[in-house]
Amino acid sequence: MELSDLFPAQGSKKKRTRVGRGHAAGKGKTAGRGLNGQGSRSGGTKGAGFEGGQTPLARRLPKLPGFTNINRVEYIPVNVSRLEAKFEAGSVVDHAALKEKGIIKHSDALVKLLGDGELTKKLTIKLDKVSKSAKAKVEAAGGKVEEPC
């Protein structure tokens, strides 16, 4: 067998129908569009969502209030009670440590420490944001909050 011997299977290749090219072509005169009506005209199709003159769904539904802020920054909330349960006294709490302990899934996520719960261990916090109540609890336990990393 050679490259020149290859050919498509019988019946797999079919010439496209050239419409509007006379009676002999089989699709002459009206080119398969029928006689009259919207579908017979050029550009006669309506756009997506057209419902035959009925008020489209997009116009029947109410406009909902509000908007989506494209500049929104999402923080993963972590409470001091989680740190109390997972960390030893004197530990440094940063993204890598939180991921290692299974508190967050990705170490590049933004984290905010919140003040729910009690904290008795001395910890060093290196997170993106810390609430006032969380900062007060960390400092009351003898720990410190460093600037965002």
Position 54 in a domain: no
- pLDDT higher than threshold 70 for residue 116: yes
Give pLDDT tens digits for 6-53: 999 999 999 999 999 999 999 999 999 999 998 899 988 888 999 989
pLDDT at 117 over 70: yes
Domain count, the chain: 1
| pLDDT at residue 141 is higher than 60 | yes
Per the domain annotation, does 34 fall within a domain? no
Q: CATH no. for residue 132?
A: 3.100.10.10
Alpha-carbon distance of 66 to 69, in angstroms, equals 9
Domain membership flag for residue 131: yes
Question: b/e per residue, 69-107, with b = 16+ CB within 10 A?
Answer: eeeeeeebebbbebbbebbeeebebbbebbbeeebbeee
Structural domain contains residue 124: yes
Nearest to 97 by CA among 124, 115, 77: 124
What residues make up the domain containing 125?
A: 76-145
- Per the document, the length of the chain is 149
Q: What is the mean pLDDT of the chain?
A: 93
pLDDT band at 107 (very low <50, low <70, confident <90, very high): confident
d(CA 145, CA 65): 40
Residue-wise pLDDT for 49-60, tens only, equals: 999 899 999 999
d(CA 92, CA 87) in angstroms, rounded, equals: 9
Residue identified by tokens 């109410």 is 62
Which DSSP letter does residue 131 get? -
